[in-house]
Amino acid sequence: MSESPQTRRLGTSGLAVSAVGLGCNNFGMRLGLDESRPVIEAALEAGITLFDTSDSYADSEEILGEVLGSRRDDVVLATKFGSHLKGALGPDRGARGGRRYIRRAVERSLQRLRTDHIDLYQLHRPDPLTPIEETLAALGELVDEGKVRYIGSSNFTGWQVADADWTARTSRLPRFISAQNEYSLLERDAEAELVPACERFGVGLLPYFPLASGLLSGKYRRGADVPENTRLAAWNMTGALTDERFDVLEKLQAFADERSVTMLHLAIGGLAAQPAVSSVIAGATSVDQIRANVAAGTWQPTPDDLAALDEIVPSRRP
Ligand SMILES: NC(=O)c1ccc[n+]([C@@H]2O[C@H](COP(=O)([O-])OP(=O)(O)OC[C@H]3O[C@@H](n4cnc5c(N)ncnc54)[C@H](OP(=O)(O)O)[C@@H]3O)[C@@H](O)[C@H]2O)c1
C-alpha cells in the first residue's frame, strides 16, 4: 500500500485536506452504487480526505452519502450548486447564484449526502445574473446557520476571483477559500490569470481534469486501440487523442522514464507542487487507480524537474 497523502491547508483557510483528493463525477455516471463503493472505501483506506462532488453529477451525492455513512466526519465533503439542472430544483431563470435558488439547492444536497453540513460549498460556475454580493451574502447565511463550513468558486476567471474576494472583504462576508478550474500538465491556461489571482488572494486551487480525463495516466498509446472500459471509449471522447497531444504525451513519458517514475507521477505530483494548488482531485474508476494516484502524489519534483516540464509544455505564467 502507498503512503498516505500529505495534509495541506485549503488556501489560507483553516480547512485541512489531503494533497490528493477524490473527484467523484464517475459515481452515478460511470459507476453505480455497488461499483462505486470499493473505490470510495479504497480512497478512505489510502488516506484521502477530500471528496469533491456536485448536485449535477447524477447520483454521486446519494452514493457518497450512502457509502460514507457514519464515516462522514472523517472526510471533507465538498459539493457544488449552480449548474443547469434542467429545472430539477424548480424554475431558476438562470439565476443560480441567487438567494432563492441557493436555499433550495443546499437542502437537497444535505439530504442526498445524508449530513447536516457541507464542508466546502462551491458555486459551480459564475452566475451572470446575480450580483456576487448577493451570492456571498446568501452563502454567508448558510455558514452562520452551520449548514456550510466554507465556500468556494469554480470556473471563475482571475478577475472574478479578485472581485469576489474584494467584495467579501469590504462587505464583511465570507470569502471563497478555493477555486476549482481546469488545470493539468496538458492544459495550463489557468496560469495566465487565475493562478496569479489565487496566489495573490490566498485562494486554494483545486484543479479539475488533472489527468485530462485519463490522457495523463499513460494508458493511451498512439496508433493503439483505445482500451475498453475507459472514459474516452465510454463517453465517445476519442477525438481527444490527436497527434499533437501524443507528441506532448510521448515527451512526458520519456521525461518520466528518465527519472524512473510514471506519467501519473508527473501529472499528480507535478501539479501538487504548483504553489497555488491545495489538492489534486483526480477522478478514479477502480481501487487500483486510487492506490496509483495516491502513490503518484508523493513525487516531489525538483526546481530542475519543473523547469524541464516547462520545456515540454510551456507555462502560461505572465
Ligand atoms: N468544476 C467543474 O466544472 C468540474 C468539471 C469537471 C470535473 N470536475 C471535478 O474534478 C474531478 C476530476 O476530474 P475528472 O475526474 O473529470 O477527470 P480526471 O481526474 O482528469 O480523469 C479521471 C479519469 O482518469 C482515469 N484515471 C484516473 N486514475 C487513473 C489511473 N491511475 N490509471 C489510469 N487511468 C486513471 C479514469 O478514467 P477511466 O474511466 O478511463 O478509468 C478517471 O475517470 C471530477 O471528478 C470532479 O469532481 C469539476
Give the closest residue (by CA) to ligand 1 atom 8.
Answer: 208
Nearest CA to 48 among 257, 303, 235, 282?
Answer: 282
Answer yes or no: is 258 within a domain. no
Q: Which atom in ligand 1 lies closest to the alpha carbon of residue 208? A: 10
Mean per-residue pLDDT for 12-23? 98
Answer yes or no: is 294 within a domain. yes
Q: What is the pLDDT of residue 266?
A: 98
56-102 tens-digit pLDDT: 999 999 999 999 999 999 999 999 999 999 989 999 999 999 999 99
The total domain count for the chain is 1
Q: What is the pLDDT of residue 2?
A: 62
Residue 134, CB half-sphere, CA atoms under 13 Å: how many?
15
Model confidence at 24: pLDDT above 60 = yes
> Regarding beta strands 20-23 and 16-18, do their DSSP bridges make them parallel or antiparallel, or are they unpaired?
unpaired
Q: What is the pLDDT of residue 202?
A: 98
Answer yes or no: is 254 within a domain. no
Answer yes or no: is 306 within a domain. no
Q: Which atom in ligand 1 lies closest to the alpha carbon of residue 24? A: 45
28-49 tens-digit pLDDT: 999 999 999 999 999 999 999 9
Is 57 in the active site?
Answer: yes
Model confidence at 139: pLDDT above 80 = yes
Answer yes or no: is 247 within a domain. no
Model confidence at 1: pLDDT above 60 = no
> Regarding beta strands 7-9 and 118-123, do their DSSP bridges make them parallel or antiparallel, or are they unpaired?
unpaired
Give the closest residue (by CA) to ligand 1 atom 47.
Answer: 23
Q: Which residues line ligand 1 (CB under 6 A)?
A: 23-26, 30, 52, 124, 154-155, 180, 208-214, 217, 219, 230-231, 264, 281-285, 289, 292-293
What does the mean pLDDT of the chain come to? Answer: 97
Answer yes or no: is 244 within a domain. no
8 A C-beta contact, residue 39 and residue 284 = yes
Q: What is the pLDDT of residue 3?
A: 79
Answer yes or no: is 111 within a domain. yes
Residue 80 structural domain: 7-213+274-300
Answer yes or no: is 225 within a domain. no
Of the chain, the end-to-end C-alpha distance in Å amounts to 40
What's the CATH code of the domain at 189? 3.20.20.100
Distance, CA 176 to ligand 1 centroid (Å)?
Answer: 23
262-291 tens-digit pLDDT: 999 999 999 999 999 999 999 999 999 999
